[in-house]
Amino acid sequence: MDLIIVESPTKSKTIQKFLGGKYEVLASFGHVRDLPKSTLGIDLENNFTPKYVVSPKARKRITELKKKAKTADNIIISTDPDREGEAIAWHILEVLGLKENQYKRIAFHEITEEAIEEALKNPRFIDMNLVNSQQARRILDRIVGYKLSPLLWKKIAKGLSAGRVQSVALKIICQREDEIKKFVAQEYWTISAFLKNATQQTFEASLIKYNGQDANKDLLQKETAVQKILNELSDVTYKISKIEKKEIRKSPPAPFTTSTLQQDASNKFGFSAKITMSLAQELYEEGYITYHRTDSVNIAATAIENARMFIVKNYGESYLSARVRRYKNKSHLAQEAHEAIRPSHCENTPQSLAKKLNPRLWKLYDLIWKRFLATQAQEAILDVVRVDVTAGNCLFRANGQTLKFDGYLKINPLKLKELAIPELKEGENVFLDKLIPKQHFTDPPPRYTEATLIKKLEENGIGRPSTYAPIISLIQARHYVVKNKTRQFESTDIGEMVNKLLNENFPEIVDINFTAKMEEELDEIAENRKIWTDVLREFYTPFVKQLEQKYQSIKKEPAIQDQVTEKICPNCGGNIIIKFGRFGKFYACSKFPECKYTAPLESPKLDIKCPKCHTGDLIAKKTKKGKIFYACSRWPDCDFALWEKPINEFCPQCNSILSENAKGKIKCSNKNCKFIRTE
């Protein structure tokens, strides 16, 4: 019997289902070896040789794999088709002690019977270029993390850590925060005219020119300028001067890559990149979608053919694109051999899987299925009209659009604002109903959401498909950034301080272009155009020299000194001070460790006594990941806590305190009580 080794038990079950009894499919449960956690694990004096160790949780599994390998006719390694998967395959071979003639390596981009059989017909050996690229990334990140982090401990606070790519993401967020702080809002106005034609149908037109000048923010900056124009418009004739009608065709967007899937799932469902990748992993391993870590928009010819046949059969010939639609990769770094994310079989419609998949899995699958199938559908056709209206020295314009043929929108509905303009003729007069001047103020640049941050990273060549989710998760786990109520990232005090130190003293480490160049060099290693140890040496030699200098020259950040306040500890009556830790500033009792009272700076008391101990006060607190909860000020002596904000009222059914959720609903905080206020 042949032995096939994959990473996950889900993947092994799916493959076993297709192959039957000739093969035994077992899982390694991910990485079997890695660098040690307690030491650097790299021999810097010996060509950056990594000192890999077997993880304790993998030892039992390795013993089982070794036992099975001894009796197997053939050993086939079938880990994921990317650098990480190639590295896992290599580590498996190393721990099993297998040589080149003792194994086969297969890879496929979708877990289907056809793809697996094709891969088994075309085995290969481990691609050490891919392995070395992954090793170089891992060692680079380990060097930066293990060498820079102690500097942060010494100069800012214990427990902090620095990351090569994560620090760049932090810099991007901090830069945006600086832009927002420096932003000064500018006043401007717009003027809209609501007009009627001869049959009393109303339409809206906006002022676009005055005396031949563009009616932009500069022209309409002050109310006085607006009032002057309004005065002139009080007694003029409104006349249709020009009507332009045309038909425009709207093409479907490209199928998903890792980045665009994460962005869309964030925008539409509020999924974090980490959640999206976890769900996509499950869909892939169960055979529903192709491999989900990709930066390519390529589509296999057979998949295109199947999609086109499905469209004709289920939507009709009129919905099929006249030509096969292919998409070009925007990034020159995209791996052309990879495919976009798509369903493994078009016949697995979202409707057919509604009862098989849990709600979140179904949502993501529905998104992927519709986006892919629409790529081969006919364009949507819109009728667009532009109407110019002259009024004295002013030119107004009305724009309208209506959907003539839905095309691919039938399959993948997207938000499309339709606005009908009534029937008008050039040269006819229209009648003013009302003029609406409106004051505006320019907005500061928006803070980054997960979607916009991923887009920014991708545009600048920072990270790769497999790294976006870990990058974002790490800067949150380290409490360098938090998400606000609108799911936008804000830098914390500690994040600002780390960014400041790195930016001032290690500008290359957090330089966007430098980091992008490193990514390109990792790609060149994968393509056998650079030697991985040379890339590491070019980075490490100047880095370690600079690090030694900075240990001596950087002064300890003064902001970490304890600050005395006038507040009194609610637990023991001692003085409250402001301390600084790895998660930023916080209130603490000066009598620590005898008194362990702490509270976040931004956590006001709610003027509500704790309903459990009736002694402490309820205050807002934050978890390490920045999520707000409400707890007794006497913690840990009293462990009362709620996720939703309590109000100073009590349940008429069970007498537990009432709470208010994010949507403003008042309900009982007792999970066993179903009371919800309806008035």
> Which residue from 333, 348, 342, 361 is spatially nearest to 304, judged by alpha carbons?
342
pLDDT higher than 60, residue 537 = yes
Do 153 and 159 contact (CB within 8 A), yes or no?
A: yes
String of DSSP letters for 284-300: HHTTSBB-S--------
Percent of the chain with pLDDT over 90: 69
* Mean pLDDT, rounded, of the chain: 91
CA distance 403 to 418: 7
Q: At what angle do helices 301-315 and 359-374 cross, to 10 degrees?
A: 90
> Which residue from 573, 565, 559, 571 is spatially nearest to 601, judged by alpha carbons?
565
Tens-place pLDDT, residues 156-200: 877 888 889 999 999 999 999 999 999 999 999 999 999 999 999
Confidence of residue 550 (pLDDT cuts 50, 70, 90): confident
Tens-place pLDDT, residues 643-666: 888 888 888 888 888 888 766 778
Maximum alpha-carbon separation in the chain: 97
Name the residue type at position 144.
V
The helix or strand, by DSSP H or E, that contains position 2, with its residue range, turns out to be strand 2-6
pLDDT higher than 90, residue 532 = yes
pLDDT for position 422 = 95
pLDDT for position 336 = 44
CA distance 261 to 256: 5
pLDDT for position 208 = 97
CA distance 118 to 112: 10
Average pLDDT over residues 253-269: 95
CA distance 250 to 122: 41
pLDDT for position 556 = 67
pLDDT higher than 90, residue 423 = yes
Average pLDDT over residues 242-263: 96
CA distance 144 to 544: 10
Tens-place pLDDT, residues 387-420: 999 999 999 999 999 999 999 999 999 988 999 9
Tens-place pLDDT, residues 314-340: 999 999 999 999 998 876 555 545 899
Place of tokens 């009371």: 675
Average pLDDT over residues 242-271: 95
pLDDT for position 598 = 82
pLDDT for position 673 = 86
The helix or strand, by DSSP H or E, that contains position 450, with its residue range, turns out to be helix 450-459
pLDDT for position 670 = 87
Q: Between 553 and 513, whose confidence is greater?
A: 513
pLDDT for position 283 = 97
CA distance 635 to 331: 52
pLDDT for position 214 = 94
Average pLDDT over residues 129-137: 96
Do 359 and 271 contact (CB within 8 A), yes or no?
A: no
DSSP conformation class of 235: G
Which parts of 125-251 are beta strand (E)? 187-196, 202-210, 213-214, 238-250
CA distance 245 to 69: 71
CA distance 53 to 676: 54
If one counts every other C-beta atom within 10 angstroms of the C-beta of residue 228, the result is: 12
CA distance 506 to 503: 6
Do 663 and 652 contact (CB within 8 A), yes or no?
A: no
> Which residues participate in catalysis according to the annotation?
291
CA distance 92 to 86: 10
Which segment, 364-378, 456-470, 493-507, is predicted with the most confidence on average? Answer: 364-378
